[in-house]
């Protein structure tokens, strides 16, 4: 047992060190494979000896049950906010006011990353609580969620600090924010307005497993209550936090002159776009804690610090035209085509107007000068029309009578105009792209979806599941290997998808991820779902009369397409769906020789293809496995010569059984 504990401690310490180098220092010290191997060893020990699990084990970062709500938790020291300085004059005014009282004072300058603030309470070096700012006096206890953030140490590098309440910002990178919004838009039809909201929303998920999937980062910028450490300046604090294992607000700089402060403000502003995270200014702080204490605070904010904000990312441009886009549900979205304008380093020339209510609310006309805002990397939006610049030659925006893609008549549905032609090419291509996304079919992105529709290889959504290797080969940019790969990906999906995903892929109006999940939980099987009743539907929380009617109407009108999908051989499984890449044979080149007792050769090859293998008839140096049946041919000798791994019939069946492909 002693040996096990020794090895266990080694694993926890080493894996934590690896995480620190990877996530905090951006400097990996181990390969992903090696890391995964050690983590599996750790999990195995923890499964056998749950009593020895350490609170700072990497396994403790995920796996907590979703809670019903967050508990309230108090900050020992109040978490204040900052006053703003909105331009250089206001910065200089603030600095001079302080300097009047404290002549030889030092300031420290830090970037102001735009996220959501969080306090982490470490007792004896171990993370005990994570509390959101809330009203500054009490916030929400989000400890289980915070533990999923890899840049939050579960244990500090220095353990004998009695207590330290570390404060900082939870952030999502601009790139991950964009990816998250694309995913949310296509799956749930909603987006976060900016990275700050995305970080706050992700941190406050009731299910920590969702927080874990959103790539959040913690950057430390201060302390609340502490006991057992001696520090006297913010500069020392940031260095100490870094040594304890945190990423800190960086670059920071100590200085004394107004000019140095303005130079730093300008420098960070000019580099604003090159930061991974959204910035909305710099923070200027008095460096000495002693002077901070004597300056004190108002009820809202400290007098020893100020946020020097950067100008908002808003510019003017002119609407040249309004175009229409058809979404996967047939909704026609107006898009303003603008005279290109650079906002915060990005050229904006198209802005979605979402729906026609917005056009009338903002009174938008073609030819209008408008204010365009792009808060960081957020989808740009038109905030208002500059009516003073109208020349009276502006043209009214006409709602479309016919679909811009298929010319069929358009219907009005609330604020939306809709194309109701199910085989409208733009609508279908968007639907296929969406299916590729939710079923994680690698290679089935936007351009492939468009080409499949354009070449009439796909005339409805069911056709995706009937595509043959030779069909895919007809697409531009698809060669043998890529066609085989996409074909395999589709076969793998057909081997088993969950009812939730199946319901999602149909594209029923108002059924996004959450509602599809609720429907799948209620009905369990595809048969039950297709025979659902109004009363059963409205008994599900979140589903009211309108959604229930949408579901019933959809099932009635689209039974044919649903049956066509099922006839393709696509299996809807209860519970866990088969993981596409989990198969032993996934992406492996496999050859069969001799007779198999349970399959004809063609059947076995087809099955291998279905589970993602690349079957072949001849042995080469690149072959991964040779499956050997009775009376093998010359392939066996060749395989031995090339040192190809040999699998006998029994082993082959065992692998298939263990993966659930054979009874
Ligand atoms: S110090 C007493 N430093 O900005 C409050 N805040 O607008 C001390 N923020 O609530 C805050 N980067 O969430 C500080 N380097 C930094 C910061 C920073 C971002 C956030 C923080 C604060 C908000 C105020």
Taking 90 as the threshold, does the pLDDT of residue 603 lie above it? no
Residue 663: predicted pLDDT: 55
Q: Ligand 1 centroid vs 81 CA: distance in angstroms?
A: 7
Choice from 81, 114, 218, 300 to test ligand 1 binding pocket (greatest atom count within 8 A of CB): 81
For range 167-175, the mean pLDDT? 95
Please state the domain extents for the chain.
Answer: 2-61, 84-309, 314-417, 425-495, 498-573, 589-658
Closest ligand 1 atom to Cα of 169: 13
Taking 90 as the threshold, does the pLDDT of residue 613 lie above it? no
Taking 60 as the threshold, does the pLDDT of residue 386 lie above it? yes
Asked if residues 433 and 446 have their Cβ atoms less than 8 Å apart, the reply is yes
Residue 650: predicted pLDDT: 85
Burial code (b: 16+ CB inside 10 Å, e: under 16) for 527-556 equals eebeebeeebbeebeebeeebbebbeebbe
Taking 80 as the threshold, does the pLDDT of residue 612 lie above it? no
Q: Which CATH superfamily, name and number, covers 498-573? A: 5' to 3' exonuclease, C-terminal subdomain (1.10.150.20)
pLDDT tens digit sequence for 77-110: 999 999 999 899 999 999 999 999 998 999 999 9
Q: Ligand 1 centroid vs 115 CA: distance in angstroms?
A: 9
Indicate if ligand 1 lies below 6 Å from the C-beta of 82: yes
Residue 157: predicted pLDDT: 93
Taking 60 as the threshold, does the pLDDT of residue 257 lie above it? yes
Residue located nearest, by CA, to atom 9 of ligand 1: 112
Catalytic residue among 112, 247, 517, 635: 112
Residue located nearest, by CA, to atom 2 of ligand 1: 80
The first and second tokens of residue 630, run together, are 């009775």
In the chain, the percentage of residues whose pLDDT exceeds 70 is: 95
Closest CA to 207 of 145, 116, 133, 143: 145
Q: Ligand 1 centroid vs 493 CA: distance in angstroms?
A: 46
**Complete DSSP assignment for 477-516:** T--HHHHHHHHHHHHHHHT-EEHHHHHHHHT-TT--HHHH
Q: Ligand 1 centroid vs 112 CA: distance in angstroms?
A: 7
Closest CA to 538 of 528, 552, 527: 552
Taking 80 as the threshold, does the pLDDT of residue 575 lie above it? no
Q: How big is the CA angle at 362 (ends 356 and 366), to the nearest 5 degrees?
A: 75
Mean per-residue pLDDT over the chain, rounded = 90
Least trusted range by pLDDT, from 201-215, 364-378, 541-555 = 364-378
Residue located nearest, by CA, to atom 12 of ligand 1: 112
Indicate if ligand 1 lies below 6 Å from the C-beta of 169: yes
Residue 633: predicted pLDDT: 87
Q: Which CATH superfamily, name and number, covers 425-495? A: 5' to 3' exonuclease, C-terminal subdomain (1.10.150.20)
Taking 60 as the threshold, does the pLDDT of residue 376 lie above it? no
Residue 112 annotated to the active site: yes
pLDDT tier at 415 (50, 70, 90 boundaries)?
Answer: confident
Q: Ligand 1 centroid vs 379 CA: distance in angstroms?
A: 25
Fold of 84-309: D-amino Acid Aminotransferase; Chain A, domain 1 (3.30.470)
Closest ligand 1 atom to Cα of 84: 7
Q: Ligand 1 centroid vs 146 CA: distance in angstroms?
A: 18
Which has the higher per-residue pLDDT, 650 or 429? 429
For range 279-285, the mean pLDDT? 95
Taking 90 as the threshold, does the pLDDT of residue 474 lie above it? yes
Residue 361: predicted pLDDT: 85
For range 285-310, the mean pLDDT? 95
The first and second tokens of residue 382, run together, are 């038109």
Q: What is the DSSP letter of 155?
A: B
The first and second tokens of residue 330, run together, are 């047939």
Q: How big is the CA angle at 192 (ends 189 and 193), to the nearest 5 degrees?
A: 120
Backbone conformation region of residue 372, classed left if phi is above 0, alpha if psi is from -120 to 50, else beta: beta
pLDDT tens digit sequence for 142-157: 999 999 999 999 999 9
- The CATH classification number of 589-658 equals 3.40.50.10190
Q: Ligand 1 centroid vs 153 CA: distance in angstroms?
A: 20
For range 161-171, the mean pLDDT? 97
Closest CA to 102 of 280, 304, 353: 304
Closest ligand 1 atom to Cα of 112: 12
Q: Which CATH superfamily, name and number, covers 2-61? A: Helix hairpin bin (1.10.287.610)
Indicate if ligand 1 lies below 6 Å from the C-beta of 117: yes
In the chain, the percentage of residues whose pLDDT exceeds 90 is: 64
Q: How far is CA 511 from CA 16, 364, 518, 541, 552, in A?
A: 41, 31, 10, 13, 12
Closest CA to 376 of 312, 288, 295: 312
Indicate if ligand 1 lies below 6 Å from the C-beta of 249: yes
Choice from 117, 277, 309 to test ligand 1 binding pocket (greatest atom count within 8 A of CB): 117
Residue 662: predicted pLDDT: 64
Indicate if ligand 1 lies below 6 Å from the C-beta of 288: no
Residue located nearest, by CA, to atom 21 of ligand 1: 117
Taking 90 as the threshold, does the pLDDT of residue 573 lie above it? no
Closest ligand 1 atom to Cα of 282: 15
Residue 44: predicted pLDDT: 92
Asked if residues 485 and 443 have their Cβ atoms less than 8 Å apart, the reply is yes
Residue 490: predicted pLDDT: 92
Residue 20: predicted pLDDT: 92
Q: Ligand 1 centroid vs 170 CA: distance in angstroms?
A: 11
Indicate if ligand 1 lies below 6 Å from the C-beta of 171: no
Whole-model pTM over 0.75: no
Residue 28: predicted pLDDT: 84
Residue 171: predicted pLDDT: 97
Give 109's contacts (C-beta < 8 A, 6+ positions apart).
Answer: 252, 253, 254, 255, 261, 264, 265, 282, 283, 284, 285
Q: How big is the CA angle at 651 (ends 649 and 656), to the nearest 5 degrees?
A: 95
Asked if residues 234 and 290 have their Cβ atoms less than 8 Å apart, the reply is no
d(CA 484, CA 104): 72
Choice from 169, 219, 304 to test ligand 1 binding pocket (greatest atom count within 8 A of CB): 169
For range 557-565, the mean pLDDT? 93
Indicate if ligand 1 lies below 6 Å from the C-beta of 132: no
Name 333's bridge partners. 325
pLDDT tier at 457 (50, 70, 90 boundaries)?
Answer: very high
pLDDT tier at 168 (50, 70, 90 boundaries)?
Answer: very high
Residue located nearest, by CA, to atom 3 of ligand 1: 221
Residue 615: predicted pLDDT: 87
Which has the higher per-residue pLDDT, 193 or 488? 488
Other beta carbons less than 10 A from residue 444's beta carbon? 22
Q: How far is CA 650 from CA 590, 629, 640, in A?
A: 16, 9, 19
pLDDT tens digit sequence for 14-37: 999 999 998 998 888 888 888 988
Residue 518: predicted pLDDT: 92
Residue 649: predicted pLDDT: 87
What are the two backbone dihedrals, phi and then psi, of residue 274, each rounded to the nearest 5 degrees? Answer: -85, -10
Indicate if ligand 1 lies below 6 Å from the C-beta of 112: yes
For range 237-258, the mean pLDDT? 95
Q: Ligand 1 centroid vs 74 CA: distance in angstroms?
A: 19
d(CA 15, CA 20): 9
CATH class, range 314-417: mainly beta
Least trusted range by pLDDT, from 5-19, 173-187, 285-299 = 173-187
What are the two backbone dihedrals, phi and then psi, of residue 323, each rounded to the nearest 5 degrees? Answer: -115, 170
Indicate if ligand 1 lies below 6 Å from the C-beta of 81: yes
**Parallel/antiparallel/unpaired status of strands 572-573 and 497-498:** parallel
Indicate if ligand 1 lies below 6 Å from the C-beta of 279: no
pLDDT tens digit sequence for 481-539: 889 889 988 988 998 899 999 999 999 988 988 889 999 999 999 999 999 999 999 99
pLDDT tens digit sequence for 127-145: 999 999 999 999 999 999 9
Do the domains 314-417 and 84-309 match in fold? no
């Amino acid at each position: 047992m002693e040996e096990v504990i020794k090895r266990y401690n080694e694993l926890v310490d080493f894996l934590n060190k690896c995480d620190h180098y990877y996530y905090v220092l951006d400097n990996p010290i181990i390969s992903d494979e090696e890391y995964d191997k050690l983590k599996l060893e750790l999990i195995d020990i923890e499964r056998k000896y749950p009593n020895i699990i350490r609170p700072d084990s990497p396994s403790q970062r995920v796996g907590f049950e979703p809670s019903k709500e967050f508990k309230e938790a108090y900050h020992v020291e109040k978490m204040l906010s900052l006053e703003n300085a909105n331009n250089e004059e206001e910065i200089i005014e603030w600095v001079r006011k302080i300097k009047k009282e404290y002549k030889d004072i030092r300031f420290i300058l830090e970037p102001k990353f735009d996220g959501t603030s969080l306090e982490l309470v470490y007792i004896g070096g171990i993370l005990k609580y994570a509390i959101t700012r809330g009203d500054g006096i009490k916030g929400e206890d989000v400890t289980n969620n915070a533990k999923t953030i890899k840049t939050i140490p579960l244990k500090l590098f220095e353990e004998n600090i009695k207590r330290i309440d570390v404060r900082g910002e939870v952030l999502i990178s601009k790139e991950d924010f964009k990816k998250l919004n694309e995913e949310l838009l296509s799956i749930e039809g909603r987006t976060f307005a900016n990275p700050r909201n995305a970080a706050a929303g992700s941190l406050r998920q009731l299910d920590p497993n969702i927080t874990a999937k959103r790539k959040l980062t913690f950057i430390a910028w201060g302390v609340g209550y502490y006991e057992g450490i001696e520090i006297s300046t913010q500069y020392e604090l940031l260095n100490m936090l870094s040594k304890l294992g945190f990423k800190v607000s960086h670059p920071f700089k100590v200085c004394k002159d107004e000019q140095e402060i303005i130079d730093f403000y300008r420098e960070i502003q000019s580099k604003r776009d090159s930061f991974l995270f959204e910035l909305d200014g710099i923070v200027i702080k008095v460096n000495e804690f002693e002077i901070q204490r004597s300056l004190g605070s108002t009820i809202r904010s400290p007098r020893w610090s100020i946020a020097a904000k950067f100008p908002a990312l808003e510019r003017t441009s002119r609407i040249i035209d309004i175009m229409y886009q058809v979404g996967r549900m047939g909704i026609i979205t107006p898009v303003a085509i603008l005279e290109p304008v650079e906002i915060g380093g990005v050229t904006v020339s198209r802005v979605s107007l979402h729906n026609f209510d917005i056009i009338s609310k903002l009174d938008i006309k073609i030819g209008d000068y408008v204010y365009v805002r792009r808060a960081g990397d957020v989808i740009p939006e038109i905030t208002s029309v500059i009516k003073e610049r109208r020349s009276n030659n502006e043209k009214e925006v006409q709602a479309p009578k016919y679909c811009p893609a298929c010319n069929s008549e358009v219907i009005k549905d609330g604020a939306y105009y809709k194309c109701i032609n199910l085989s409208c090419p733009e609508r279908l291509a968007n639907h296929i792209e969406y299916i590729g996304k939710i079923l994680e079919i690698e290679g089935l992105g936007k351009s492939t979806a468009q080409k499949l529709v354009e070449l009439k290889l796909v005339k409805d959504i069911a056709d995706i599941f009937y595509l043959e290797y030779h069909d895919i080969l007809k697409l531009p940019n698809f060669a043998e290997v890529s066609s085989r790969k996409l074909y395999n990906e589709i076969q793998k999906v057909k081997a088993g998808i969950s009812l939730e995903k199946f319901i999602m892929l149909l594209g029923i109006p108002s059924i996004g991820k959450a509602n599809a999940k609720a429907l799948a939980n209620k009905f369990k099987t595809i048969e039950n779902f297709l025979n659902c009743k109004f009363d059963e539907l409205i008994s599900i929380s979140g589903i009211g009369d309108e959604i229930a009617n949408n579901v019933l109407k959809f099932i009635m009108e689209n039974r044919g397409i649903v049956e066509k999908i099922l006839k393709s051989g696509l299996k809807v499984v209860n519970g866990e769906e088969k993981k596409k890449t989990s198969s032993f044979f996934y992406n492996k080149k496999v050859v069969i020789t001799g007779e198999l007792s349970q399959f004809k050769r063609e059947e076995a090859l087809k099955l291998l293809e279905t589970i993602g293998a690349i079957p072949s008839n001849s042995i080469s140096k690149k072959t991964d496995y040779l499956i050997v049946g009775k009376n093998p041919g010359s392939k066996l000798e060749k395989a031995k010569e090339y040192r190809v791994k040999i699998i006998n019939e029994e082993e082959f069946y065992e692998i298939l059984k263990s993966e659930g492909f054979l009874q």
